[in-house]
Structure 1
Amino acid sequence: MKQWKTILAAAALALASGTAAMAARTDLVLGMPLEPPHLDPTAGAAAAIDEVFYANVFEGLTRIGSRGEVLPDLAESWTISDDGKTYTFKLRSGVKFHDGSDFDASDVKFSLDRARGESSVNAQKGLFAPIDTIEVVDPATVKVTLKNPLGSFLYNLGWGDAVIVAPESAETNKEKPVGTGPLKFQNWAKGSSITLVKADGYWGDPVALDKAEFRIIPDAAAAIPALLSGDVQALPNFALGDALAQVKADPRFKVVIGTTEGETVLSTNNKKPPFDNLKVRQAIAHAIDRKALIDGATGGLGTPIGSHFAPHNPAYIDLTGTYPHDIAKAKELLKEAGLADGFKATLKLPPVGYARQGGEIIASQLREIGIDLQIIPVEWADWLKQVFTDKDYDLSIVSHTEPNDIDIYARKDYYFNYDNPAFNKVIDELNLTSDEAKRTELYKQAQKILADDAVNGFLFELPKVGIWDAKVEGLWENSPIQANDLTKVKWAD
């Protein structure tokens, strides 16, 4: 009897220890399909950088919350002058960078000056163009004066491209990022994973996680066994195709289908013949069967779009009927453009499922009207150089996941090579307008111009398919900004 009591006591102790260990779990492995080309969100356009570092390692004056709202971050408060041009930011005290250096107003001035400077490599340099002057009032106060009022200024400061960096570490952030966030960079095993750990002495609420590993899993077929085995506990944004049904049926996991800011487009080089001809672009628009594309590339989860605007935005208008699927009309337009026999072109595709699968479908659809596309698969770094930077392409497919970014079509050096003075005028007026009703009307005008011009093939809004262990709490359902914010993530007891 005494022996059994000893055995039972030991078993109870082991069970209690095991339960405590389970309840105290503070690590998380997240799978992501693309590896960042480097680790500095202020020096690259790749969404994968922000997906690891936004709100986790780097912080801005403001930040974008899970519902798309603007929240205070390194700026605890601000005041705006009556003319709408001067913003005075009161900064948080006691903030340190992960290398131990103090954060103050001089770091804000350095970061914003660096982002807008002549030699800036910031992918969203245009966000900072409205800034006229930046003044350090005292270590805890910075004053930013704009050239003109800008209704979206606080929102723009919440982008990953606007995070605050220190002059001591700015030049090495691509390999060894140093921020002020609740997690700090530990290791980058290139081609494999990026590891973050809890930062000591964080100024705000500490995170529940002691360690977070972002594991690079380019192939969805490899992501499934990693998830099922428990090797990976979360796939925050993964296209699983037919395997999604299998995971949905497993009670160990939570499947959350949300929205993104990812306007997926058939990117078109508007200055390169024959794509500089409106009739050709209209023909392509008529040849695209969005439903077949969405079914094949997103498992039916994407939302069709007819312009560059997210359907969940209050200012959205449905323009998918501008150029309905009509093969006969598409052929007629090509004939009017002097291309009755069609033509050949290239389609460069980055290494994401929606692009590679969607590219095959688009090529098949355009073949029906005589357009013969040579599909060229490229790695992400090559896409960024060849397509985004050098504009060396005919067509491509990519999701633009930056928030509320219709203004990119007004940038003269942007890779679409689109220039319409009427559109630029609308964007200029939008930038000077703070009244929400007027801004909504201007957004609608901008959408209509892009749709009519068939600037790109407007395909679908990329869905956010999140799958994670049912005991994991706090991951975002939607993606109002390209991020995997871990600040509220924890394991349920």
Structure 2
Amino acid sequence: MRMTRGKAARGPVLVLGALLAVTACTDPTQQGSGDTGGAATEGEDSGAGSEVVIATGGEPDSFNPVLGYARWGDGKVVEGLVRLTAELEQEPLLATDLPEVSADGLTLTFTLREDVTFHDGSELDAQDVVATYETAIDPETASPVAADLTALEAVEAVDETTVRFTLSEPQSSFVAATVLGIVPAESLDPEPAASADVVGTGPYTIETYRPGERVVLEGYDDYWGEQPQVQRATFVFVEDDAARAARVASGEVDGALLPAQALDRVEQDDDFKVVRRDTADFRALVLPEEHPVAGDPAVRAALHQGLDRQALVDGALAGAGRPAYGPIPPEAPEYADVVEVEIDAQAAATTLDEAGWVEQADGTRARDGQRARFTLMYPAGDTLRQNVALAVQAQAAELGIEVEPEGLSWEAIEPRMREDALVYGSGNPYNADLSTYPLFHSSRAFQGFDNPGGYASEAMDAALEDGRSAQAEDERVQAYQRVQEQLAQDLPWVFLAYVEHDYVIRADTWSGWDVPLVEPHEHGLQGGPWWNLPAWTTTDPAG
């Protein structure tokens, strides 16, 4: 599906396999090292507040949008045809308007802005959009974004500023998926010149990138939109929660993602403000289909019935969350309470009894010589997931199920997801389709961190496909009712909680960051108060 590219060669190029360091949020693998480069206001020739240093919990596995970077937009370096607002609405970005959609829903036509240049000085045109999308859906790319674009049959450049998408069937979530960042056509050639530079159209360029340590973003002088007042932003990658809290306490950073348990001392510090964001970010137990215990329907049902989610929120999350029973948040129109369950430890015990899981002298159950035991993996250094794993261990023990938490690097976790359970995080508030299809459709089984347990159900596939193609709202709601009914029946995952995201930011330095944002799971460079970093304004200390 690759197009013939006739544009002149550009300067820096983007290598599809470059920058593969660690995956963001679901895969924060490396702890930051080295100094932060100083406080945010120490930059040469810069005014107070024009620089910021932020400690995040992980780094992107790539800054290439085709490989999943900034999947929900707000890439700062790259931009899509549309963006998603704090009000969860779609608005044009590189396009002049939302697309013109044909009556049958199969053709969407975008008109591009004419005043946009890439960071190498070349002009954005329709060929760049075509190349980006064709590469994203090319099976050889193995892009996680491909799961959001399954209906895309063809994309063509009608002229230099007009792009037409043709779908094989209507896809209600397609416009939301066009947040995909656009990169130059030449940077997606099969054998580009080696470079670690990302060529985007965003308000920032990558000035410095040190894998496992930091990325420094610098304002792009020829940005087509308004120049950001924060001209330099350093994101320090610090996987360990305690290490991030220490950097805040020492004054090394101006903002950070912190676990709720670390907020007490910061709340007493007048130099910082604490920010808590509502989210659609869930934590769940992914139970591999092939495991003799975690894959057993009775064990899954017992965990679903017997785990006290509110107690887990109050303890493991320090109250910073709410119980979850499925991937679609209760505020969404597609939500169905069929996934909910009354916590009943006795009913859970009866379920295990009836399935032949017999309680042994030590309190652990067994069946046919198989102990009711499984390993529960979580990323080492992630305090929240560790606490969730420990809470599950304690509660499951009361049911006679032995859970062994194991903290590992993401490199160690990924190859074991077929065999061992995992504390998983995902979710977005934007679209029910995009928050369920990649996780539960059989075509996504073992595709990176999509459907890591290998769940496959023809009934689920049909419901997901109906939801994706539905054009009428009532049809969508009915399809996702079936999706949730199937989840409640099969219980491939046990959902536990939606977690709130907690951040700190230096007080009285910037304005404009405090917006009513409901965050998705991804919240490294994209989330938090720095979600809208280009819109920040500096606060005059004398004012």
TM-score, normalising length: structure 1: 0.86
Q: Aligned equivalents of 1:249 and 1:52: distance in 2?
A: 34
Which position in structure 2 is the counterpart of 1:76? 96
**What is the match of residue 457 of structure 1?**
494
Residue number in structure 2 paired with 1:370: 400
- SS of the aligned residue for 1:286 comes to helix
Give the one of 92, 97, 106 matched to 2:113.
92
Asked if residue 291 in structure 1 is aligned to residue 327 in structure 2, the reply is no
Q: State the Cα distance separating 1:23 from its structure 2 match.
A: 6.7
**1:122 offset after TM fit, Å?**
1.0
Paired residue secondary structure (1:68) = coil
Equivalent in 54, 60, 76 of residue 36 of structure 1: 60
Deviation string, structure 1 residues 52-93 (Cα, Å, up to 9, x no partner)? 984300111111112221111111222111111111110011
Q: Which residue of 2 aligns with 1:398?
A: 424
What code does the residue aligned with 1:359 have?
A: A
Q: 1:50 aligns with which of 45, 62, 70?
A: 70
What secondary structure, in the 3-state scheme, does the structure 2 residue paired with 1:261 have? coil
Give the root-mean-square deviation of aligned CA atoms: 2.6
What is residue 327 of structure 1 aligned with on the other side?
345
Q: Describe the SS at the equivalent of 2:280.
A: strand
- TM-fit CA distance, 1:100: 2.5
Partner Cα separation in structure 1 for residue 503 and residue 337 of structure 2: 26
In the alignment, structure 2 segments of 5+ residues that lack a partner are 1-41, 359-364, 367-371, 446-450
1:13-32 superposed Cα distances (whole Å, 9 cap, x missing partner): xxxxx9xx997420111111
In structure 2, give the amino acid aligned to 1:335.
D
How far off its partner does 1:193 sit? 1.4
The DSSP-based 3-state class of the residue aligned with 2:500 is strand
Tell me, in whole angstroms, the C-alpha distance in 2 between the residues paired with 1:41 and 1:107. 13
Counterpart among 253, 257, 263 of residue 244 in structure 1: 263
Task: Tell me, in whole angstroms, the C-alpha distance in 2 between the residues paired with 1:345 and 1:51.
Answer: 33
Match of 1:180? Answer: 201
Q: Please state how far the C-alpha of 1:260 moved relative to its aligned partner.
A: 1.9
Please state whether the residue corresponding to 2:165 is helix, strand or coil.
strand
Is the Cα contact below 8 Å between 1:37 and 1:381 reproduced in 2?
no
Residue 141 of structure 1 and its aligned partner are, at CA, apart by: 0.6
Distance change in 2, residues 1:357/1:285 (3 Å): same
1:473 aligns with 2:511: yes
Q: Please tell me whether the aligned partners of residues 257 and 477 of structure 1 are also in contact (alpha carbons under 8 angstroms).
A: no
Q: Aligned pair 1:151/2:180, yes or no? A: no
User: Which string of whole-angstrom CA distances, capped at 9 and with x for unpartnered residues, describes residues 308-350 of structure 1?
Assistant: 112332433445642x333332222223223222322111112
Question: Would the aligned equivalents of 1:297 and 1:358 in 2 still touch at CA under 8 Å?
Answer: yes
Equivalent position amino acid for 1:329 in 2: A
**Structure 2 Cα separation of the partners of residues 140 and 114 of structure 1:** 20
Match of 2:481 among 444, 447, 451: 444
Q: CA deviation at 1:436?
A: 2.6
Alignment of 1:91-170 (within 5 A): 91-158=112-179, 162-170=180-188
Contact 2:287 2:295 in 1 (8 A): no
Give the direction of change, closer, same or farther, for the CA distance of 1:330–1:239 in structure 2 (3 Å limit).
Answer: same
Percent identity of paired positions between Structure 1 and Structure 2: 27
Preserved CA contact (<8 Å) 1:131 1:145 = yes
- For residues 229 and 461 of structure 1, what CA distance do their matches in structure 2 show? 31
**Residue 444 of structure 1: how far off its partner (Å):** 3.3
Residues 55, 487 of structure 1: 8 Å contact kept: no
Residue 385 of structure 2 aligns with an amino acid whose one-letter code is A
SS, match of residue 458 in structure 1: strand
Q: Counterparts of 1:429 and 1:219 in 2: how far apart (Å)?
A: 42
Is the CA contact (8 Å cut-off) linking 2:245 and 2:258 kept in structure 1? no
Q: Could you tell me which residue of structure 2 aligns to residue 433 of structure 1?
A: 470
Distance 1:401 1:432, change over 3 A: closer
1:9 alignment counterpart: none
Contact 2:65-2:182 at 8 Å conserved across structures? no
The DSSP-based 3-state class of the residue aligned with 1:443 is helix
The yes-or-no answer on 1:490 pairing with 2:537 is yes
Task: Give the whole-Å Cα distance in 1 for the aligned partners of 2:133 and 2:202.
Answer: 18
Does structure 2 retain, via aligned residues, the 8 Å contact 1:239–1:465? yes
Query: Helix, strand or coil for the counterpart of 2:456?
Result: coil
* In 2, Cα distance between equivalents of 1:80 and 1:36: 33
What TM-score does the superposition give when structure 2 sets the normalisation length? Answer: 0.79
**Do 1:40 and 1:173's aligned partners in 2 also have CA atoms closer than 8 Å?**
no
CA distance in 2, matches of 1:31, 1:329: 45
- Partner Cα separation in structure 2 for residue 365 and residue 308 of structure 1: 22
Deviation at 1:372, TM superposition (A): 2.0
The Cα offsets for residues 396-417 of structure 1, whole Å up to 9 and x where unpaired, read as: 1021144540223123323232
C-alpha distance in 1 between matches for 2:473 and 2:73: 31
Q: Contact conserved, 2:206 with 2:218, CA < 8 A, in 1?
A: yes
CA 174–279 in structure 1, closer or farther in 2 if over 3 Å, else same:
farther
Moved more, 275-284 or 147-156: 275-284
Q: What is the CA-CA distance between 1:95 and the residue it aligns to?
A: 1.6
Equivalent of residue 374 in structure 2, options 333, 340, 345: 345
CA drift of 1:263 comes to 1.8
CA change 1:296–1:360 in 2 (3 A) is same
Measure the CA separation in 1 of the matches of 2:153 and 2:418: 34
CA 1:198/1:75 → structure 2, altered by over 3 Å: closer, same or farther?
A: same
Q: What is the CA distance between 1:477 and its match in structure 2?
A: 4.7
Q: Which residue of 1 aligns with 2:215?
A: 194
CA contact (8 A) 2:339 2:485 kept: no
- Supply the distance in 2 between the matched residues of 1:209 and 1:169 (Cα, whole angstroms): 28
Matched, 1:226 2:252: no
Partners of 2:289 and 2:295 in 1: how far apart?
Answer: 5
The one-letter code matched in structure 1 to 2:319 is: G
Partners of 1:22 and 1:116 in 2: CA distance:
42
Task: Give the aligned residue type for 1:108.
Answer: V
Superposed displacement of residue 35, structure 1: 2.7
Is 1:66 matched up with 2:86? yes
Is 2:457 aligned against 1:420? Answer: yes
Q: Distance in 1 between matches of 2:195 and 2:327?
A: 30
2:441 match: 410
Aligned residues: 460
Once the two structures are overlaid, the 10-residue window that deviates more, 453-462 or 21-30, is 21-30
Structure-2 separation of matches of 1:58 and 1:282: 44
Which runs of 5 or more structure 1 residues have no equivalent in the other structure?
1-17
Is residue 2:377 matched to residue 1:386?
Answer: no
